[in-house]
Amino acid sequence: MRRRLVRGTLGIVLVLAIVDGVFGERGVFANMQEREGLTTLRASIAELHAQNAALTDDIRRLREDESAIEELAREELGLIKDGEILIILRDVPERPTGAPAPASSAAQR
| Intervals of the chain under pLDDT 70 | 98-109
Other C-beta atoms closer than 10 Å to the C-beta of 97 total 5
| pLDDT on residue 103 | 64
Contact 29, 23 (CB under 8 A): yes
- Contact present, 95 and 101 (Cβ < 8 Å): yes
* pLDDT in the model for residue 4: 87
Q: Is 78 left (phi over 0), alpha (psi -120 to 50) or beta?
A: left
Confidence (pLDDT) at 10 = 87
pLDDT of residue 79: 83
